[in-house]
Structure 1
Amino acid sequence: MTAAEGDGVGGERPAEVAARRRALERIDAFAGRLTELSRSLHADPEVAFAEHRAAGRLAALLDEAGLTVRRGPYDLPTALTASYGTGPLTIGVCAEYDALPELGHACGHNVICAASAGAAIGLAAVADELGFAVRLLGTPAEEAGGGKVLMLDRGAFDDVTVAMMAHPGPVDDVDPRSSTTSVARFDVTFTGRASHAALAPESGINAGDAAVVAQVAVGQLRQQLPDGYRVAGIVREGGAQSNIIPERTVLSFEVRTPTAEELAALRERVADCFRGAALATGCAVAITATQPDYLDLRNDAWLMARYADGLRAAAGRSPAEPAGPPRRIGASTDMGNVTRALPAIHPHLGLIGSSGTPHTREFAEWTGGAAADDAVLAAARAMAWAGIALAADEERRAHYLDLRAAGVGGAATSADG
Structure 2
Amino acid sequence: MSTHAAELHALSHSLHAEPEIAFAERRSAAKLTESLSQHGFDVRRGVAGLPTAFDATFGSGELVIGLCAEYDALPEVGHACGHNVIAAAALGAGFALAEVADELGITVRVIGTPAEETGGGKVLMLDAGVFDGVAAAMMVHPNPVETVASPSLAIADVAVRYTGKESHAAAAPHLGRNAADAITVAQVGIGLLRQHLEPGQMVHGIVSHGGAAPNIVPAHTEALYYLRARDLESLRRITARARDCFAAGALATGCTHDVVEISPTYAELAPDAWLAQAYRTAVTALGRTPLSRAEEVLRQAGSTDMGNVTRALPGIHPTVAIDCGDAVNHQPEFAAACVNASADRAVLDGATALAHTAIAAATDADQRDRLLEGVARR
Q: Which bin holds the TM-score, normalised by the shorter protein? A: over 0.9
The answer to whether 1:272 aligns with 2:244 is: yes
Q: Which amino acid aligns with 1:287?
A: V
The answer to whether 1:116 aligns with 2:90 is: yes
Report the Cα distance in structure 1 between the residues aligned to 2:147 and 2:170, rounded to whole angstroms: 59
Say which SS state the counterpart of residue 110 (structure 2) adopts.
strand
The answer to whether 1:65 aligns with 2:39 is: yes
Report the Cα distance in structure 1 between the residues aligned to 2:25 and 2:75, rounded to whole angstroms: 12
Say which SS state the counterpart of residue 390 (structure 1) adopts.
helix
Unaligned runs of 5+ in 1: 1-26, 408-417
Mapped contact 1:181–1:328 kept (Cα < 8 A):
no
Q: Which amino acid aligns with 2:117?
A: E
Mapped contact 2:59–2:98 kept (Cα < 8 A):
yes
State the 1:328 CA deviation.
Answer: 5.0
Mapped contact 2:201–2:235 kept (Cα < 8 A):
no
Report Cα offsets for 1:119-173 as digits up to 9, x if no partner.
0110111001111101110000000000000000000101100000011101211
Report the count of equivalent residues. Answer: 378
Report the Cα distance in structure 2 between the residues aligned to 1:320 and 1:330, rounded to whole angstroms: 14
Q: 2:196 corresponds to which residue? A: 224
Mapped contact 2:61–2:101 kept (Cα < 8 A):
no
Q: Which amino acid aligns with 1:214?
A: A
Mapped contact 1:181–1:329 kept (Cα < 8 A):
no
If the length of structure 2 is used for normalisation, what is the TM-score? 0.97
Q: Which amino acid aligns with 1:263?
A: L
Out of 253, 264, 267, the residue aligned to residue 225 of structure 2 is: 253
Q: 1:75 corresponds to which residue? A: 49
Report the Cα distance in structure 1 between the residues aligned to 2:292 and 2:226, rounded to whole angstroms: 34
Report Cα offsets for 1:7-36 as digits up to 9, x if no partner.
xxxxxxxxxxxxxxxxxxxx2211100011
Instruction: Describe how 1:224-243 pairs up with structure 2 within 5 A.
Output: 224-243=196-215
Out of 199, 203, 209, the residue aligned to residue 175 of structure 2 is: 203
Mapped contact 1:180–1:328 kept (Cα < 8 A):
no
Q: 1:4 corresponds to which residue? A: none
Q: 1:333 corresponds to which residue? A: 304
Report the Cα distance in structure 1 between the residues aligned to 2:115 and 2:70, rounded to whole angstroms: 8
Mapped contact 1:299–1:345 kept (Cα < 8 A):
yes
If the length of structure 1 is used for normalisation, what is the TM-score? 0.88
Report the Cα distance in structure 1 between the residues aligned to 2:302 and 2:28, rounded to whole angstroms: 24
Out of 111, 126, 130, the residue aligned to residue 137 of structure 1 is: 111
Unaligned runs of 5+ in 2: none
Q: Which amino acid aligns with 1:267?
A: T
Q: Where do 4+ consecutive residues of structure 1 move more than 6 Å?
A: none
Report Cα offsets for 1:178-213 as digits up to 9, x if no partner.
211100011111001101111111111111111111
Out of 335, 343, 347, the residue aligned to residue 364 of structure 1 is: 335
Give the aligned CA root-mean-square deviation in angstroms. 1.3
The answer to whether 1:403 aligns with 2:374 is: yes
Aligned-pair identity in percent equals 51
Q: 1:91 corresponds to which residue? A: 65
Report the Cα distance in structure 2 between the residues aligned to 1:165 and 1:262, rounded to whole angstroms: 26
